[in-house]
Amino acid sequence: MPAIAKASGITAGAIYKHFKSKGELLLEVVKRSFESTPLFMQNSAAATATALPRLASAYTEPELKLVRQLSIEVHSAASRDSEVRRLLALSDEAAIQYISDAIALAQREGELDPKLSPEFAARLFCVFVMGLLHMDTLLPNLIGDKSWRDFVHDRIAVLIGAD
C-alpha cells in the first residue's frame, strides 16, 4: 500500500480511509475498468440484451487488453484472499442479475427467444466472456481478428436466442 500511495501522490492512510485492504482496492480498480466498457455502462443503449453479442465480441479487441489482464488478476487474488473472493462473488452475481434482467426484458418485448432461461443464459454468457478474458495467453493470434470477432458475435447471438 505504501508503494501505491507514493505512486498516487497520497498517503497510505488516505488509501486505508477508503479501502480496508489491497484486495478491496484491486476490486475497485477492476470494477472501474469494467464500468468503462460498454457492457457495464448503466442506462445506456449498449447495456441491452440484444447488444450482448456485440459487447462480448468487443473482448476480442486489443483495446480491452487491460480489462482482460485485470480480470485475471482479481480472480487469482480471489483464490488467495477470502475477502476478495467474497467481493468478487457479489460483483459477479450483480452482473449476472443485471444481464438476466436485460434478457428477460428483451424476451417480454419479443426480441429474444421466450423459452430461454434468462438466468442460465446470463450465467453462460459470463462464462463465455471469462474464457475471452484469457485470450492474451490462450489465443493471442486471434486478438483483433475480425473473423474471430464476428464468430464470437454470432455464437453469443445464438446463445441468447437472438439468431
Residue 107 near residue 86, CB atoms below 8 Å: no
pTM flag (> 0.85): no
Q: Average pLDDT of the chain?
A: 85
Asked whether residue 13 is assigned to any structural domain, the reply reads: no
* Domain-located, residue 7: no
Question: Is 14 part of a structural domain of the chain?
Answer: no
Residue 6 lies in a domain: no
**Does residue 1 form part of some domain?**
no
**What does the pLDDT read at residue 38?**
54
18 CB neighbour count, 10 Å cutoff: 10
Q: How confident is the model over 33-78, as pLDDT tens digits?
A: 666 665 555 444 445 888 889 889 999 999 989 888 888 888 888 8
DSSP string, the chain: -HHHHHHHTS-HHHHHHH-SSHHHHHHHHHHHHHHTSGGG-TTSGGGSGGGHHHHHHHTTSGGGHHHHHHHHHHHHHHHH-HHHHHHHHHHHHHHHHHHHHHHHHHHHTTSS-TTS-HHHHHHHHHHHHHHHTTHHHH-GGGTT-HHHHHHHHHHHHHHTT--
Does residue 139 belong to any structural domain of this protein?
A: yes
In a domain, residue 5? The reply is: no
Angle between helices 22-35 and 65-80 (to 10 degrees): 150
Predicted pLDDT of residue 88: 84
Rounded Cα distance, 116 and 134, in Å: 27
Assign residue 104 the CATH number of its domain.
1.10.357
d(CA 45, CA 156): 18
**Does any domain span residue 114?**
yes
Q: Which structural domain range is residue 58 located in? A: 21-159
Greater model confidence, 160 or 7: 160
**Structural contact between residues 71 and 62, judged by C-beta atoms closer than 8 angstroms:** no
Tally of domains in the chain: 1
What is the tens place of the pLDDT at every residue in 73-107?
Answer: 888 888 988 888 888 888 889 889 989 999 999 99
Q: What values do phi and psi take at 117, rounded to 5? A: -75, 115
Q: Cell numbers 447495456 correspond to what residue?
A: 47
Residue range 108-124: mean pLDDT, rounded: 93
Mean predicted confidence (pLDDT) in 10-31: 80
